[in-house]
Structure 1
């Protein structure tokens, strides 16, 4: 979850709890840093770059991956981290949590 997502959710909570009474409240970068420190929220990298993989693991898994891909057309195969779909998935997940 990104800092921007935390700020957006906080704005939505403020709106739901108090309506427009606190419309001038600003969820600044400073507010975000204090919020993360207060709740011990730390940042971790969820997905690494291609250089961060262990090649032996890739060599073992590659035949299985190729066998699974034979069932799909090339136009239906995507490199997920290059399409921004993980970012969109996080937003969708947070949206579902708010409902």
Structure 2
């Protein structure tokens, strides 16, 4: 969610709640920063491999993965990523 989306939604809520009487209210960058601080909203930049993931592809593949995992007992399933695999390198 971007700051622009938050500002747009705030304008929409203001319009719905008060109509055109507060149409001059400005949702500035300063307002946005104070809003985020007040509600403890933090932003994170995704980088590396996490940015290259296509969520739709994962969601489509999950049923197939779950079907394959049903052939194994839980104690035989080991979850490992690259960090765990190569931690001594």
Q: What's the TM-score once normalised by structure 1's chain length?
A: 0.48
SS in 1 for 2:21: coil
Compute the displacement of 1:11 (Å). Answer: 0.1
Compute the displacement of 1:44 (Å). Answer: 1.3
Quick one: higher RCO (CA 8 Å, sep 6+), 1 or 2? Answer: 1
Instruction: Determine whether 1:43 maps to 2:72.
Output: no
Give per-residue Cα distances to partners, 1:37-96, cap 9 Å, x unaligned: 000000012x42xxx23xxxxxxxxxxxxxxxxxxxxxxxxxxxxxxxxxxxxxxxxxxx
Point out 4+ residue stretches in structure 1 off by more than 6 angstroms. Answer: none
The Cα RMSD (Å) is 2.0
Counterpart in 2 of 1:28? 28
Task: Give matches, 1:17-96, under 5 Å.
Answer: 17-45=17-45, 47-48=46-47, 52-53=48-49
Q: Which runs of 5+ in 1 are unaligned?
A: 54-99
Instruction: Give the count of matched residue pairs.
Output: 51
Compute the displacement of 1:32 (Å). Answer: 0.3
Counterpart in 1 of 2:7? 7
